[in-house]
Amino acid sequence: MFRPFFVLILTLLTSGNFFFPTAIAMSPTLEVKSILITGATTGIGRNLAETLAARGYHVYGGARTDTEMKELDAISNITAIRLDVTKQDQVDSAVQRVRESGTGLYALVNNAGIGGGGPVLTTPVEDQTSVYKVNVEGVYRVTKAFAPLVIEAKGRITITGSVAGIISSSSYNAYSGSKHWIEAFTDGLAQEMKPFGVNVSVIEPGNYQSHIRRSSVLRAFDKVVAAGGEITKEMQKQYDQTAAYELSLKKPDEVSAAFIHALFSDQPLRRYVVTPNADSQKHTIGTKVQQLVQLNQWGPHAYSRDELIGMLDYWMKTLDEFSD
């Protein structure tokens, strides 16, 4: 929980029902920014929550189970909050709790997401729907609910995208589609929030250590069991291999660093591509360039190579000046 020294003193002077963040808001000398992170229990969300908390920020960490909430509450400067982004009643309750705490809300980090989806010919529609309920509708639902609080603080909204929103594959079709939607959503939301003084950014990680792949396998196991089946040795082997792969990846410290810049820099960027190595960066940017060339292939108004290079030079100069 969030327990600075002065809060402990106030606790001794007040009732046992005292809510720590309220005291923080009441202090005339201490300004602590509160940030809400959805999906804060594992992976990128957990890494970011712990990073922010260690730096003295107050984090509302979204969790879905009692066990997860207990784990988050045990970390100094983190207040667990029950938040399944697919359930409007939980979203509404979370908003009410933040409002009643008196801390305000400086920033919203839309991080909750799941993997899944596959080849169109072999993947049930329900599998794609489940991905979109979390990765698309969940982001929309939470943003709509918490945006008024962030507007009051003239704060920040950040969203966890993915390089998969740029680079797609039949093996994760639905997931890529959901992250490509976030690209468009970020731009539209940024335009909407600009008059209110709220900046919007998307962080697009490559392959970093997380729990998203293991969670996808476990959901598939749940469906097998629900249908009366059993988890075979081969299926368990698949999970073990997935877990070994995820744990072999770099920890997402670099992703958290990008979030920190987006949340607190005086000149935050719209997009942050964060990759674990140069090859991944080359593949991501190269795919975007390929898409640019494809966009320019057809029609009477296509640009020449020199004109395209002129556009590139213009935007690199413009964005560099903006970032200085």
Checking if the pLDDT of 204 tops 60, the result is yes
Highest mean predicted confidence (pLDDT) among 202-216, 232-246, 255-269:
255-269
Q: Comparing C-alpha atoms, which of 96, 99, 94 is closest to residue 80?
A: 94
- What is d(CA 192, CA 199) in angstroms, rounded to the nearest whole number? 10
Instruction: Report pLDDT for 213.
Output: 75
Instruction: Report pLDDT for 24.
Output: 38
First vs last Cα of the chain: how many Å apart? 38
More confident residue, 264 or 234: 264
Q: CA angle at residue 189 from 163 to 140, to 5 degrees? A: 75
pLDDT tens-digit map of 245-301? 778 788 999 999 999 999 999 999 999 999 999 999 999 999 999 999 999 999 999
Identify the band that residue 14 occupies on the pLDDT scale cut at 50, 70 and 90: very low
- Find the catalytic residue in 106, 132, 172, 175: 175
Instruction: Report pLDDT for 209.
Output: 81
pLDDT tens-digit map of 132-164? 999 999 999 999 999 999 999 999 999 999 999
β-pairing verdict for 107-110 and 156-160? parallel
Instruction: Report pLDDT for 322.
Output: 59
**CB neighbours of residue 302 within 10 Å:** 11
Q: Comparing C-alpha atoms, which of 41, 1, 36, 5 is closest to residue 21?
A: 1
pLDDT tens-digit map of 286-300? 999 999 999 999 999
For residues 99 and 91, the answer to whether their CB atoms sit within 8 Å is no
Name the CATH topology of 5-210+251-276: Rossmann fold (3.40.50)
Q: Which two tokens stand for residue 90?
A: 């939980």
Instruction: Report pLDDT for 30.
Output: 47
Identify the band that residue 8 occupies on the pLDDT scale cut at 50, 70 and 90: very low
- What is d(CA 240, CA 237) in angstroms, rounded to the nearest whole number? 5
Q: How many Å separate Cα 316 from the centre of its chain?
A: 27
Choice among 73-77, 90-94, 117-121 with the minimum mean pLDDT: 117-121
pLDDT tens-digit map of 21-65? 433 333 333 478 999 999 999 999 999 999 999 999 999 999 999
The verdict on whether 245 is a catalytic residue reads no
More confident residue, 277 or 231: 277
Average model confidence (pLDDT) across the chain: 88
Burial track 94-119 (b if 16+ CB lie within 10 A, e otherwise): bbebbeebebbbbbbbbbbbbbbbbe
For the chain, give the percent of residues with pLDDT over 70.
89
For residues 58 and 103, the answer to whether their CB atoms sit within 8 Å is yes
